[in-house]
Amino acid sequence: MSRPSRFRLLAAFVVLAILPLCIRAQTTSPSREIPGPLRGWEQWATWDDADRVCPTPYRDSEKSLCFWPSRLTLDIEPTAGRFELEVTVFSESWVPLPGDGTVWPHEVKANGAAQPIVEHDGRPSVKLPAGVFRLEGNYRWSEVPARLAIPKEIGLLALTLQGAVVESPTWDEEGNLWLRRDGAAEQAEVDFLGIKIYAVLEDGIPLWLRTEIELSVSGKNREEQIGSVLPEGWKLAAVDSSIPVAVDDAGRMKAQVRPGKWIVHLDAFRLDNVKEVRYAADATPAVAEELIGFRARPELRMVEILGAPPVDVSQTTFPERWRNLPVYRWQTSSPLRIEERMRGTGIQKPEGLRINRSLWLDENGRGITFRDHIAGQMQQIWRLDTAPGQDLGSVLSDGQGLLITRNVKNGAAGVEIRSRNLNLEATGRIEQRGELPASGWQADRPTSCSPSGRPWGTRPSRGS
């Protein structure tokens, strides 16, 4: 084989090796479009990635939600039962069915076609390809069981028990639907939804908004429009909820609720310099009043929260883990203003550097050996240079040697500082010329001052 032929063959192998990687990188990133020449290879490159078309939850991009069930309808009779469920399958998946090892479904069909029922992850399940399916199945028993296990993926339930519609079925957090209860039938509760929202603003880059939404629900299982839970301009980063919820790009939330108390956690952020926190003009906030805390970053900047009065957190139901923060009562119809007072060093400016200098005069009086101990906290100095006429011998930082370099701007010898809390020990020589520097050092900030009040490296007059 000639050399050009061998080269072309090698190039072909390289292309075939990296092409799947390129396509995978494009298909796994929703913000990138697959280039035209690669589109014909998409199925070939991702043939073993069955979950690539499945949506992912906000809080875990590695997890795939490959099916989405709708309302589960149950019809329970004294000796039999029946269920119906519509489910959307994005990629071939095992779909769990209501029931368990003690109550097993029979005669299960998907769009009219009989399906084999297999125990998968401890639950009766059917395996379905991508598509929209209407599942139906039956139960047989000698008497109505006390409970029926409901898959955790189910959010809405319609129950008919012996011909009577149960408006408020007893459905606990473990997923057990209780079909028999002792005592007389309880009066159906009216539909009620109570909403409380607590939040914390965390200063920084980015600025974070941590929100906790408390839903108190009674009545029947249903889907509720909660309203706007994120102010204008905030980007949702994570959702954590024990019931199915959805938050759109405008910050509006809906939830599939059932009786009980449910907590939803949202994390959102902004990268710009936020001056106000407000809801959009056309938004309907979920609550008219919201308790919001503020976690400051004084080392970054000092800000003041305006537009909401502070409250005594001990007199509120603010979550315990946030009670160490200042809390404000925010009327969501008006903006919450963040006014910056100072940027940089925080509560107070650094105290400056403290220098303890020891000098040893040569016997002939022509030179001096010095040893300086330099200390200071929360400094903004990133380089220290010696004053003219001094030669550095060694510099230690917390006992570790530092490299002595020469400043290209002024030609002075010095060291680079890598910590805001300084603990330096330096030794060197001074040629005696009748004057001594006040501190012997100059910093990279022209406004920095020595303990004597003079800029670093200045010389006092004779007799001072």
Tens digit of each residue's pLDDT (9 = 90 or more) over 22-59: 444 444 444 446 677 777 776 666 666 666 678 777 66
Confidence band for 75, pLDDT divided at 50, 70 and 90: very high
Nearest CA to 226 among 203, 206, 251, 205? 251
The pLDDT of residue 29: 42
Domain 192-343 has CATH 2.60.40: yes
Residue-averaged pLDDT of the chain? 80
Q: Is there a contact between 283 and 253 (Cβ–Cβ < 8 Å)?
A: no
The pLDDT of residue 203: 92
The pair of structure tokens assigned to 39 is 């589109």
Distance CA 420, CA 367 (A): 33
For tokens 């520097």, the residue is 437
224-233, 409-418, 443-452: range with lowest mean pLDDT: 443-452
The pLDDT of residue 416: 87
The pLDDT of residue 10: 47
The pLDDT of residue 345: 52
Confidence band for 276, pLDDT divided at 50, 70 and 90: very high
For tokens 């010898």, the residue is 413
The pLDDT of residue 454: 37
79-93, 248-262, 380-394: range with lowest mean pLDDT: 380-394
Confidence band for 378, pLDDT divided at 50, 70 and 90: low
Distance CA 71, CA 80 (A): 20
The pair of structure tokens assigned to 207 is 């600025």
Nearest CA to 367 among 429, 322, 420? 429
The pLDDT of residue 267: 95
Burial of 199 (0-12, 13-18, 19+ CB in 10 A): buried
The answer to whether the peptide bond before residue 206 is cis (omega within 30 degrees of 0) is: yes
Residue 296 scores a pLDDT above 50: yes
Q: Considering only residues 355 and 446, tell me which one the structure prediction assigns the higher pLDDT.
A: 355
Residue 435 scores a pLDDT above 90: no
Q: Is there a contact between 441 and 388 (Cβ–Cβ < 8 Å)?
A: no
Distance CA 172, CA 425 (A): 67
pTM for the full model? Answer: 0.46
Domains 67-178 and 192-343 share a fold: yes
The pLDDT of residue 51: 66
Residue 348 scores a pLDDT above 90: no
Q: How far is CA 459 from CA 389, 415, 419, 434, in A?
A: 11, 21, 28, 11
Q: How many residues does the chain have?
A: 464
- Neighbouring CB atoms inside 10 A of 366's CB total 10
Strand partners, 148: 177
Distance CA 43, CA 46 (A): 5
Q: Considering only residues 55 and 317, tell me which one the structure prediction assigns the higher pLDDT.
A: 317
The pLDDT of residue 225: 93
Which ranges in 60-123 belong to alpha helices (H)? none
Strand partners, 224: 255
In the three-class reduction of DSSP (H, G, I as helix; E, B as strand; rest coil), residue 16 is classed as helix
The pair of structure tokens assigned to 176 is 């057990």
Q: What is the third-level CATH fold of 67-178? A: Immunoglobulin-like (2.60.40)
The pLDDT of residue 11: 46
Superfamily of domain 354-443: tricorn interacting facor f3 domain (2.60.40.1730)
User: Which percentage of the chain shows pLDDT scores above 70?
Assistant: 80
Computed over its alpha carbons, how large is the radius of gyration of the chain? 35
Residue 337 scores a pLDDT above 90: yes
The pLDDT of residue 60: 66
Q: Considering only residues 185 and 194, tell me which one the structure prediction assigns the higher pLDDT.
A: 194
Residue 234 scores a pLDDT above 80: yes
Tens digit of each residue's pLDDT (9 = 90 or more) over 380-408: 677 888 888 888 999 998 888 889 998 88
Tens digit of each residue's pLDDT (9 = 90 or more) over 146-173: 889 888 888 888 899 888 888 878 887 7
Task: Report CA dihedral (186, 190, 195, 196) to the nearest 10 degrees.
Answer: -50
- Domain spans of the chain, in order of start: 3-48, 67-178, 192-343, 354-443
The pLDDT of residue 464: 27
Residue 175 scores a pLDDT above 60: yes
What's the whole-number mean pLDDT along residues 66-89?
90
Tens digit of each residue's pLDDT (9 = 90 or more) over 95-125: 999 998 888 998 999 999 999 999 888 889 9
Which ranges in 171-245 belong to alpha helices (H)? none
